[in-house]
Structure 1
Amino acid sequence: MPGLIMDNRPAAHVSLRAVGHRFGEGTWLFRGIESTFGAGDLVAVTGPSGSGKSTLLSLVAGGTPTEGTIERGEGRTQWVFQNPYGSAHRSTADHVALPFLARGMSRTEAEPQVQGLLERFNLSESSAAPFRTLSGGQAQRLMLARALAAEPALILVDEPTSQLDPVNAGMVIDVLQELAGEDRTVLIATHDPRVADRATRRLVLGDPDGAS
């Protein structure tokens, strides 16, 4: 499948040291998390609903935990949220082109990479479709394509397969695995055992054994 022409993208690493978090004086979501992830790691953050999976991703993205520290290496971070969002009337291709244009490329220069990403995420036939016409699964895949267009070193993904049929879910898992193989760090909050089974590392919230 087509990939991206990468720049000199610095590698990302994330170190969690005795990390714990709660909101106000509420119940602790998690405590004592100790783990380090780096380029090439595909990390599945798992645990029951309410265990703080999305919260942990938000902390890794730049938040401050209630206790402990999070060290983040250099490199661009992109977050793919569980609920896709976009400009209703702009096309699928427009959304993927935007990160390239923001870096100073012309639309003509960006077009080969835009089309490569659309093909990679099985969106070529929807290239001209307005965002408002996309299915939930198409919109989710579009958000992944747009995130990758930004050439991130660290990708945070919240429940990427929750709206996808088995075929497209498998395709997305394949691509996420490829991204980690391209010296990125990929953290995925997921309930999907298929994602967890393909991960190189697991961070289990609500489990005394923690990361593996």
Structure 2
Amino acid sequence: MSRVQVVTTALGHRFPGQPFLFRGLDLVLDPDRVYALTGPSGSGKSTLLALLAGWLAPAEGTVDRDGVERVGWVFQNPHGVARRSALDHVVLPYLTRGLCRPRAVDRARALLAEFRLDDVADRAFSALSGGEAQRLMLARGIAAGSDLLLVDEPTAQLDTETGALVNRTLAALARRGTIVVVATHDPATRAGCTDVIDLVPLGGAVVAR
């Protein structure tokens, strides 16, 4: 099995007719780590997520996704199928990966319990609170076997108490064999991650563990 790692070399990006958001970005992202991606508004956090995912081609430099076969993305506003249950949202990725339905249901229920969602497993997505929906999307990313899981401002729309629960969930994503990168303005989210990538406009980034 190949090693999973994402490496950026001299990475920089700008949009046509605009100045560079950042340049000279050298990163080595490893599994079992949760990286807080921080920086002022306009520093390019969401753009960097898109570059890491391969959804956007960099203006300069490279992004090497070694061993990354599945990329998951959890958006600021969670998207799900309104009438499908929370359980269905986690069962489906396991079925897609080849598990039989009974095994997929067992795995999904266990994962929902880890994310403190077992009591809403049979509730429709449209009936979930914002925090429940956000945690469900994180669980779905794990169920999908994402090698790289990108999370964009997960607590931006949540109250303080719900945001704290989501932050504890993010911290629990470490040690699952997944590279997790979380773009955030929230100091509590930053504190709950294992590493910090602080974008410096036009000057790369400061990385701390």
TM value normalised by structure 1: 0.87
1:67 shift after superposition = 0.7
Residues 1-212 of structure 1 aligned to structure 2 (within 5 Å) = 11-62=3-54, 63-75=56-68, 76-206=70-200, 208=203, 210-212=205-207
User: Aligned AA for 2:66?
Assistant: G
1:45 shift after superposition = 0.6
Q: Identify the structure with the greater strand proportion.
A: 2
Per-residue Cα deviation, 1:96-119 (whole angstroms, up to 9, x for no partner): 111011122232111111111211
SS of 1:34's equivalent?
strand
User: CA contact under 8 A between 1:20 and 1:65: conserved in structure 2?
Assistant: yes
Per-residue Cα deviation, 1:144-168 (whole angstroms, up to 9, x for no partner): 1111101222211111222334444
Q: RMSD between aligned alpha carbons?
A: 1.9
The separation in 2 between residues aligned to 1:211 and 1:189, in whole angstroms, is 15
TM value normalised by structure 2: 0.89
1:13 shift after superposition = 1.0
1:129 shift after superposition = 1.4
The separation in 2 between residues aligned to 1:200 and 1:116, in whole angstroms, is 24
Give unpaired runs (5+ residues) of structure 2. none
User: Aligned AA for 1:18?
Assistant: A
1:44 shift after superposition = 0.9
Per-residue Cα deviation, 1:107-144 (whole angstroms, up to 9, x for no partner): 21111111112112222221111112222222111111
Q: Which stretches of structure 1, 4 residues or longer, exceed 6 Å deviation after superposition?
A: none
Aligned length: 204
Give unpaired runs (5+ residues) of structure 1. 1-7
User: CA contact under 8 A between 2:23 and 2:204: conserved in structure 1?
Assistant: no
What residue number does 1:5 align with? none
1:68 shift after superposition = 0.7
Deviates further, 101-110 or 199-208 = 199-208
User: CA contact under 8 A between 1:57 and 1:156: conserved in structure 2?
Assistant: yes
The separation in 2 between residues aligned to 1:41 and 1:105, in whole angstroms, is 27
